[in-house]
Amino acid sequence: MMGKINFFLGKQIKQSKEGIFINQPKYIKSLLERFGMTNCSNAKVPLPAGIRLNPSLDKPKTNIQRYRSMIGSLLYLTVSRPDIMFVVCNCARYQADPHEPHLAAVKTIFRYLHNTPGYGLWYPANSGFYIQAYSDSDLGGCSIDHKSTLGGCQFLDGKLIGWQSKKQTCVSISTAEAEYVAAAACTS
């Protein structure tokens, strides 16, 4: 009755004969304005390789309300941006006691978003019926309890239908074990 949907709860939805594209460029723009990052430099990745967050208790603390607000806003954005899921969840672990390195990591995510506001999810209209799943993990990636972080995504007919990034519930003693746990979580 209302026709094609174009905008819903901060998500822009473009429908065509080729498929559906979902992204959140207006939401990203409002976030950058809200947190004073409209004129920031660009980042090519959400978090550079080799950067590992830890409690950083020797570094200065940051404003806890602002940090939590930034994390909450980014968590909502992961609905259409699975590319930032891992790093946002990693930063979310430090919401109880954020320090300067954690805020710097969150600002890097915003700089990445400043560089990539048009990214989103593409669902092509025509494809076959097949399921694909990908998973990965890091061995002992958390510096606090040495638990691995797993990640995975599932595709139906080449269309992303599910993704996750979370800390494993057990401590793996080998890379093979960490990968097995990640694969089991991805397929379940």
| Tens digits of residue pLDDT in 66-92 | 999 999 999 999 988 988 988 998 899
Is pLDDT above 70 for 159?
Answer: yes
The residue among 147, 150, 149 whose CA lies nearest residue 173 is 147
Under the banding of pLDDT at 50, 70 and 90, the label for residue 29 is very high
Q: Which two tokens stand for residue 148?
A: 């691995």
Report domain extents, the chain: 7-121, 127-187
Residue type, 173: I
Over residues 166-171, the mean pLDDT reads 77
pLDDT at 152: 85
pLDDT at 181: 78
Widest CA span in the chain = 59
Considering the chain, what percentage of its residues have pLDDT values greater than 70? 97
pLDDT at 185: 77
Average pLDDT in the chain: 86
Is pLDDT above 80 for 169?
Answer: no
Considering the chain, what percentage of its residues have pLDDT values greater than 90? 41
CA–CA separation, 185 and 166 (whole Å)? 10
pLDDT at 109: 96
pLDDT at 1: 64
Report DSSP letters for the chain, one per residue: ---S--EETTEEEEE-SSEEEEE-HHHHHHHHHHTT-TTPPP-SSSS-TT------TTSPB--HHHHHHHHHHHHHHTTT-GGGHHHHHHHHTTSSS-BHHHHHHHHHHHHHHHH-TT-EEEEES-----EEEEEEEETT--TTT---EEEEEEEETTEEEEEEEEE-SS--SSHHHHHHHHHHHHH-
pLDDT at 8: 80
pLDDT at 2: 67
Q: Strands of 7-8's sheet, edge to edge?
A: 7-8, 11-15, 19-23, 120-124
Q: Strands of 131-138's sheet, edge to edge?
A: 131-138, 149-156, 159-167
Residue-wise pLDDT tens digits, 114-152: 999 999 988 888 767 788 888 888 777 776 777 777 888
